[in-house]
Amino acid sequence: MPKIRIENVVASLSLADKLDLQSIALHLEGAEYEPDQFPGVIYRLKEPKTAILLFGSGKVVCTGGKSMKEVEDSIAIVSQQIRKSGQKIKSDPKIQVQNIVASSDLESEINLNAIAVTLGLDRVEYEPEQFPGLVCRMEEPRVVILLFGSGKLVCTGARKPSDIDLAVKKITAELRGAGLMR
């Protein structure tokens, strides 16, 4: 089984019914708030290395985490700092994973033209003049895998790490079964 590396976990939650973004921007050192450019506060953490987007509606998006633990830690840090600014926020918000992006290496070069023909046009897009990778949409789990001639792949659209494991196992088995990789 190829080694899988999670590159990015994007998660969202509701921290409150309403957030005072001006106040938050003043209390979070290094926060960026330019409402003319973007409707939320952008706050980047160094450890864990994530970006938190805070919106007036109370919604929050965390991106850049390499694991669910990094997302949870980031939310805890920002929540604590917002509480210190005097705003009331939920004590235990429900974090929902929106997308997990992972990479892997099949450790074998692959022929994308042959794969496009074998896997079928109903689930594959391959236009090398536009993009060097083959886009393969999987039904179960419902993810998208980008395959490159080098054998490297990117999996996106997963909601849990087990979806990525399953997708990489399935595509590897399918390519081997069709004689398209060692």
For residue 120, the model assigns a pLDDT of 85
Of all residues in the chain, what percent carry a pLDDT higher than 70?
A: 99
Mean pLDDT (the chain, rounded)? 95
Class of domain 106-177: alpha beta
Average pLDDT over residues 26-33: 95
Class of domain 11-97: alpha beta
pLDDT grade for 78, boundaries at 50, 70 and 90: very high
Q: In the prediction, which pLDDT does 147 show?
A: 97
Q: For the segment 122-157, what is each residue's pLDDT rounded down to a tens digit?
A: 899 999 999 999 999 999 999 999 999 999 999 999
The pLDDT assigned to 80 comes to: 95
Average pLDDT over residues 105-113: 94
Does the structure show a pLDDT above 90 at 2?
Answer: no
Domain boundaries, the chain: 11-97, 106-177
What would the 3-class secondary structure string for 10-62 be? EEEEECCCCCCHHHHHHHCCCCECCCCCCCEEEEEECCCCEEEEEECCCEEEE
Q: Quick check: do 11-97 and 106-177 share a fold?
A: yes
Q: How confident is the model at residue 181 (pLDDT cuts 50, 70, 90)?
A: confident
Task: Say if CB 93 and CB 38 are below 8 A apart.
Answer: no
